Every structure is written in C-alpha cells, then in structure tokens.
Structure 1
C-alpha cells in the first residue's frame, strides 16, 4: 500500500509551477503507478491561469474547491467545486480562476488507449 498526503516529504519536494499558473505537487507518479502517468494536486490563485497547452496524454481535472473558466479545444465554460473535466489527448486546454478564493484541483493523467 502506498499512502501520500500533501505534507509527505516526497510530495513537498515535487512542487512545481504548472503551465505558468498553478502551484502543483505530484502525489503519485508512474514510478509507482501501473496504468496512470500521475495524480497531482494543484492550487490556482484568484485571477491566475493555467495557460493553454497541449499534453501528450489525456487528463481529468477535478475541481476540489473554487471556480474558474475552463477551455478545451474550441469549447469554454464555467466550472466549479465538484466538476470533473475530461481533457482529451492532444487538445489544447486552459483554466482561469475567476473566483475570489483559491481553486484547488486534482489532476490525473494516463496514456490514451
């Protein structure tokens, strides 16, 4: 069994800036996962944006708390706490925090079938 939390030393050391906007850490990576690439936690401050980018894998963003505006390809819409957003492989996507509180996000990634 592997259990990690945001205070775990290995998780804290993984802190990085996600696409110009969010502070993110890797909770689990492909070093221990078998079918997924990673499982991360990110925090996007009010007014900040995860800039548009394309990943070579599919992702799911799950909004733990807060709100924002998500763009996936040519589509855009408001997202909020409890929303899960599927990001297909190779499609540009971005997320802007449009609220007045932090937007906390869980991100999972896997290779498409």
Structure 2
C-alpha cells in the first residue's frame, strides 16, 4: 500500500492498463483511486474496458459494496441467479454477498466504472 494519504489530481493517461487476477480475455482496468496508486483506504475506483468475450470470473464479496456504471458498449451481467443485458447508462448496485460477473457479449468494447468500498473484504 502507498504510504501517502493526501489529496491528489491525476489524469487517466497516467495510470497503465492492467489485467487483474480472475479477469480474462482482454478485461483491462486502470486503478485510478486505489491503495497502490493514491493510498486510498476506503475506496477503489477503476475504469475498465473489456474487449469482446472478455469477462471477470463469478465471485462475491463478504463486506464490500460495488457500483458499476456502464459508459459504452453492452454485455451480460450475472447477479445471483439472474442474467441481465447491461448497456450504456445502466448503473448496477451490488451489496455484499451477492455472486456476480460481467462479460462483454457485444460487438465492440464494453467500458464501465467500478467503485468498491471498502477497498478489501475483511
């Protein structure tokens, strides 16, 4: 974790794309506000772009809440036992304990913001 804990201003171009564990097929993210980038303790804020067929493995969080905000493209999101098409301007809220995954099932890139709090499951 970064030792600094202060206000910051960064440009999205400053953060490299990376493929986090359990993300597959070109599921890339930029960790814009994260312990390793700005020293955040309570929030993880990422922009993600998934190429067609890219996905994150189905998972659940013990204590974390998440919000997905789809900016471009469309894909399929599994929430519990339900499967939903998600597209531009959809906002998805996930409380702790709900199994979920997202996959790009569209023809172009699927781009979305993911906000998670707290940063890690306890």
Unaligned runs of 5+ in 2: 1-6
Aligned-residue CA RMSD (Å) = 2.1
* Distance (whole Å) between structure 2 residues aligned to residue 90 and residue 18 of structure 1: 19
- TM-score, length-normalised on structure 2? 0.77
Shift of 1:91: 1.2
- TM-score, length-normalised on structure 1? 0.82
Say which is worse superposed, 17-26 or 98-107, in terms of deviation.
17-26
Alignment partner, residue 87 of structure 1: 94
Aligned residues: 108
Unaligned runs of 5+ in 1: none
1:27 corresponds to 2:27: no
More strand by share: 1
* Distance (whole Å) between structure 2 residues aligned to residue 5 and residue 81 of structure 1: 23
1:67 corresponds to 2:70: no
Equivalent residue of 2:57, what SS?
strand
Alignment partner, residue 3 of structure 2: none
Equivalences for residues 3-18 of structure 1 within 5 A: 3-8=9-14, 11-12=15-16, 15-17=18-20
Alignment partner, residue 52 of structure 2: 46
Equivalent residue of 1:17, what SS?
coil
